[in-house]
Amino acid sequence: MKKVGVAILGLGVVGGGTARILIDRKERIKEEYGVEANIVAVLDKFPERVTNLGLSLDILATSIDDICNNPTVDIVVECMGGLEPAKTFLTKALEAGKSIVTSNKEMFAKSWPDLEKAAQKTGAGLYYEATTGGGMPIIRTMTTAMQANNILEIKAIINGTTNYILTRMTEENADYATVLKDAQALGFAERNPVADVEGYDSSYKLSILSTLAFNKRVPADVIFREGITNITADDIKLGKEMGYIVKLLAIAKQINGKIEARVHPVFLPKSHPLASVSNSFNAVFVTGDAVGDIMTYGRGAGALPTGSAIVSDIIYCARQVEHARYSEIFTEITEDELIKNFESEYYVRLTVHDVPGVLADITNVLKKYNISISQIKQDKNNDIIPITFVTQKAHEFDMMNAVKDIEKLDNIIKVENVIRVEE
């Protein structure tokens, strides 16, 4: 029987869920995995969180130093969130020879190389399943089940808040502001929702996934990012009529030794597996050169789903003879290796004056940039009409330049929206 002492930093939603699973499933974990995991230390400002779990206040630490100097602590679980003091606390733990488990995607995405350097010195382990997809086991899938593959592509719905918002907008023909307010009232969205709705959260998670997949450091700040705040009920309705569902996707591809990484709203065909992922659920669609396409699906947040991933990491960590090292993947991607001018199809919605030649003017601009139209919708019998079209594949820079030129045309009132389309 392997005995491990666990210290939990933060007994909030995720930390409390993790503790509850460790307490409730202790005997089953012992029987099935040969690991006796005991909570031996907690760092939290609120003593009642400890006693509410039926734990003794004797385990309540007053500082990270108490935990680092505690010989009964083997694994430190960080559930605090934020960059600091989380990074400093975990660095101290690693330097003390304690392995770490974290669910903190922003901190881990930004600090992974620094944490690995600290871990290498003592041989401690880093475990981070819960950073990406909550309870969905995508990290271990990629690290232990896909060794025979070169990963070619990742397409992922990895933010439950935006998926909930877009699902409600799609199913109810509701506007963004109304659904966001409901999401905040239900606790799906933060009072300040910027990290979710502007794609920051997804970019941190994609940084972790793409770095792991392509063996090249892909920092979050080099990932193309666009949020969902400009998506309207009109766009969703028109997209559905054209056979598409809108999702905020995190996309990473490896093409001829180069990498593209982007987070933005996407129209997906209704037949794509990711199109049916709704509400706060997450899913990651991975393409390997040997296995082909696989998809993992599950809840991306919450006390017990995230706690499930953390406890899985604790058990996995406890059973390792030697911890995985990641220093070989921290050669940072260069400008030459990053594909910024990626290819996509594009949905474009315009408001125009209904005069002869307006459509010809638009197609002439597209022709200038070698862009073809695959679908078009045009209303009639009004002085001002909407025109919506979907292009065939084009390069991002060409499309954005074409949009700028279209905006300058005499009879264009407004380019209402541009949304990328993925097949």
φ, ψ of residue 75 to 5 degrees: the values are: -130, 130
Residue 218 tokens read as 């892909």
Phi, psi of 44 (to 5 degrees): -160, 150
Instruction: Find where tokens 């009409």 sit.
Output: 385
Question: Positive or negative, the Cα torsion across 146, 125, 24, 8?
Answer: negative
Report the distance separating Cα 277 and Cα 280, nearest Å. 9
Residue partners of 276: CB distance under 8 A and separation at least 6: none
Asked if 19 contacts 39 with a C-beta cutoff of 8 angstroms, the reply is: yes
Classify burial at 191, counting beta carbons within 10 Å of its beta carbon; exposed 0-12, middle 13-18, buried 19 or more. exposed
Catalytic pick from 98, 205, 247, 253? Answer: 205
DSSP annotation string for 329-398: G-SBPPGGGB--S-EEEEEEEEEEE--TTHHHHHHHHHHHTT--EEEEEE--SSSEEEEEEEESSEEHHH
Q: Specify the DSSP element, H or E, that contains 139.
A: helix 138-144
Q: Residue 205 catalytic?
A: yes
Enumerate the β-bridge partners of residue 385.
Answer: 352
Q: Residue written as tokens 């002492």?
A: 5
> Catalytic amino acids?
205
